[in-house]
Amino acid sequence: METTKTEMKEITMDASMVNTKALIFVPIILFIFAVPYFLLWPNGHSGGLFDILFNNIFFTLFIIFIGVILHELIHGLFWSFYLKKGFRAIRFGIMWTHLTPYCHSKEPMKLKHYRIGGIMPAILLGFIPAVISLFTGSLGILVFGIFFSIAAGGDLLMIWMMRNENRNDWVQDHPDKIGCFISKDLDHLAK
């Protein structure tokens, strides 16, 4: 009987460098959303309820806090669709040394599904609100969308780092680091 050697690749990032490396997305995000906004609304347009509330620092901090929680829940929700145990295979926590919340899958999944769960917080909390602001002129919604697009920089960076990997390979979150293992063989990840 012939045995094949399965290669397992580790793709990780140093937690202290994630935010620094993710800064590459800031000018891109600002160019995509802020430039069109100020071309469409040269004086800015405020006055909507969200804009009025956004002027209150406590409301702003509350929205950011809720947004951070939603960001991790969105990862977990979308990944759970592709896991045998569903949402029970998802774990949440905070890396206290870097004050970084995280969502971790205890089960492997296909890379294409990992990417979906990885990008969804940026889409739902960042890109969509920023696009809505272009139509409504709401400066508060623009700031919200840009903030949560930038907050997804680590996720965007991770997706970028996996861009050359096969979408049908298996991914297992790294148990201790920011990142994952990638393997063609599901059994190899389970070991």
Domain ranges of the chain: 8-190
SS3 176: coil
| Distance of alpha carbon 103 from alpha carbon 99, whole angstroms | 13
**pLDDT the model gives residue 1:** 39
Question: 145: Cβ–Cβ under 8 A, 6 or more apart, which residues?
Answer: 33, 125, 126, 127, 128, 129, 130, 131, 132, 133
Residue 3, pLDDT score: 43
Tell me, what's the pLDDT at 6? Answer: 63
> DSSP string covering 145-157, please?
HHHHHHHTHHHHH
How far apart are the C-alpha atoms of 150 and 122, rounded to whole Å? 8
For 127-145, the DSSP string reads IHHHHHHHHH-BHHHHHHH
- Specify the pairing of strand 178-183 against strand 90-95: unpaired
What count of residues does the chain have?
191
Q: Identify the pLDDT of residue 49.
A: 59
- How many C-beta atoms lie closer than 10 Å to residue 96's C-beta? 7
Q: State the alpha helices, DSSP H only, in 3-161.
A: 15-22, 25-29, 35-40, 49-54, 57-80, 111-121, 128-136, 139-151, 153-161
Contacts 24+ apart (CB under 8 A), 88-97: 95/15, 97/15
pLDDT in single tens digits along all 191 residues of the chain: 344 456 788 888 887 777 788 888 999 999 999 999 999 988 776 666 566 666 677 788 888 899 999 999 999 999 999 999 999 999 999 888 777 888 999 999 999 999 999 999 999 999 999 999 999 888 888 989 999 999 999 899 999 999 999 999 999 988 777 888 998 876 656 55
Token pair recorded at residue 8: 């397992």
| pLDDT score, position 7 | 77
